[in-house]
Amino acid sequence: MVTMKDVALLAGVSVSTVSHVLNGTRNVAPETRDRVMRAVDALGYRPNMMARGLRRKGIFLLGLVVPDATNPYFAEVARAVEDRCYERGFSLMVASSGGIPEREARAVEAMGLHRVGGIIMVGLGFPEEQARILSGLEIPVVMVDRKIGDLPVDSIQSDNVGGGRMAARHLLDLGHRRIGCVTGPMGLGPSEDRLRGFMEEIEEARVDRSWVSVIHGDFGCESGYRAARGMLSRPDRPTAIFAMNDLMALGVMGAARDAGLSVPSDLSVVGFDGISMGRFFVPSLTTVAQPIASMGHGAVDRIVDRMMGDVEGEIMARILPCSLIQRGSSAPLGCGG
């Protein structure tokens, strides 16, 4: 399908210039206008009528659905989305599903009634339910932090496999071999990808599999606390624990404290997400940081581009790299003497 970008490339102008020519929103030099129209004719480009309708009706409202508005990670994604909406002249309608499929469906329905121009859906989600809900929508949708099978919906997420590898490599480089891992819920793409990357790095390092403990959590502080309490009560307790989000890492640190252990002298801890408050944990949290701002900004940009007809057809599945932020919660094995 021919897009506005194709027209711009052939005419040798910017996409915004093509948009101004087709929509009459700004005066353009006659020779430039002629070049654009010749490119339109040559490529057989047909403007996106839905986008024109949106502009005529003055729809500058986007929707954002998150699983839990109280989770700092989702709150920071929402802030990044809101900041980008403001920069691009859009308002934002936000809803939290509370981890309940029916509430998520109702939120999407309400946004449709409010005539949002597009919806950004973040996080945990319910693959079968979301596929059913989203397949009937006639507005652009972008998934953040996950992708739903073969559903033809744009997505943007971090490299969870690479992030899992990064956490394992950091602890291995510090000399740790007895390592615990607290996962998120199984069945969720990010959890399974992080675990896959973590275990791949462990296996490539030829660490005895019996030295590695894996316990499933639910991304909440309490589940991190419970998992760590179980691991730390064993005679062969781990010397390091990787928690697959920063909230569970906070729970792990609480369990270490209650077990009379010092972080990082007795136990190194690594989280995942890179939430801002991790700097203020005691000790400050070593974490695999997701590119939160880039994901939020990229989701808004893709929605707006689809609304305005600047992209059509091709589905975006963008994966952005994570980064390791080393702070006070991780240290070389034996640093406590």
SS (H, E, C) the chain: CCCHHHHHHHHCCCHHHHHHHHHCCCCCCHHHHHHHHHHHHHHCCCCCHHHHHHHHHCCCEEEEEECCCCCHHHHHHHHHHHHHHHHCCCEEEEEECCCCHHHHHHHHHHHHHCCCCCEEEECCCCHHHHHHHHHCCCCCEEEECCCCCCCCCEEEEECHHHHHHHHHHHHHHCCCCCEEEEECCCCCHHHHHHHHHHHHHHHHCCCCHHHEEEEECCCCHHHHHHHHHHHHCCCCCCCEEEECCHHHHHHHHHHHHHCCCCCCCCCEEEEEECCHHHHHCCCCCEEEECCHHHHHHHHHHHHHHHHCCCCCCCCCEEEECCEEECCCCCCCCCCCC
Share of the chain above pLDDT 90, in %: 58
Is the pLDDT confidence value at 6 over 50?
A: yes
Asked, for residue 224, whether it belongs to a domain, the answer is yes
Question: Which of the pair, 335 or 168, is modelled with greater confidence?
Answer: 168
Mean pLDDT of 123-150: 73
Query: For the ranges 55-64, 163-172, 199-208, which has the lowest average pLDDT?
Result: 55-64
pLDDT in tens, 181-217: 999 988 888 999 999 999 999 999 999 999 999 999 9
Q: Are residues 167 and 278 in the same domain?
A: yes
- The average confidence (pLDDT) of the chain is 88
Q: At 31, which CATH number?
A: 1.10.260.40
Identify the pLDDT of residue 285: 98
Q: At 277, which CATH number?
A: 3.40.50.2300
Asked, for residue 39, whether it belongs to a domain, the answer is yes
Is the pLDDT confidence value at 56 over 50?
A: no
Mean pLDDT of 137-160: 85
pLDDT in tens, 21-53: 876 666 788 889 889 889 988 888 866 544 554
For residue 238, the enclosing domain spans 160-290
Q: Are residues 74 and 177 in the same domain?
A: no
Q: Are residues 66 and 100 in the same domain?
A: yes
Q: Are residues 211 and 192 in the same domain?
A: yes
Asked, for residue 326, whether it belongs to a domain, the answer is no
**pLDDT class of 70 with cuts at 50, 70, 90:** confident
Q: Are residues 283 and 182 in the same domain?
A: yes
Q: Are residues 65 and 16 in the same domain?
A: no
Q: Are residues 278 and 181 in the same domain?
A: yes
Question: Which backbone phi and psi does 334 adopt, to 5 degrees?
Answer: 85, 10
Q: Are residues 260 and 145 in the same domain?
A: no
Query: For the ranges 1-5, 39-43, 65-69, 194-198, which has the lowest average pLDDT?
Result: 1-5
Asked, for residue 332, whether it belongs to a domain, the answer is no
Identify the pLDDT of residue 302: 92
Asked, for residue 145, whether it belongs to a domain, the answer is yes
Identify the pLDDT of residue 305: 87
Asked, for residue 54, whether it belongs to a domain, the answer is no
Identify the pLDDT of residue 308: 77
Asked, for residue 43, whether it belongs to a domain, the answer is yes
Identify the pLDDT of residue 186: 83
What is the pTM for the complete model shown?
0.81
Question: Which of the pair, 183 or 337, is modelled with greater confidence?
Answer: 183
Q: Are residues 138 and 242 in the same domain?
A: no
Q: Are residues 187 and 136 in the same domain?
A: no
Question: Which backbone phi and psi does 192 adopt, to 5 degrees?
Answer: -70, -35
Q: Are residues 248 and 304 in the same domain?
A: no
Q: Are residues 194 and 164 in the same domain?
A: yes
pLDDT in tens, 245-269: 999 999 999 999 999 999 999 999 9
When divided into structural domains, the chain yields a total of 3
Asked, for residue 111, whether it belongs to a domain, the answer is yes
Q: Please tell me the distance from the alpha carbon of residue 252 to that of residue 281, in angstroms, as a whole number.
A: 12
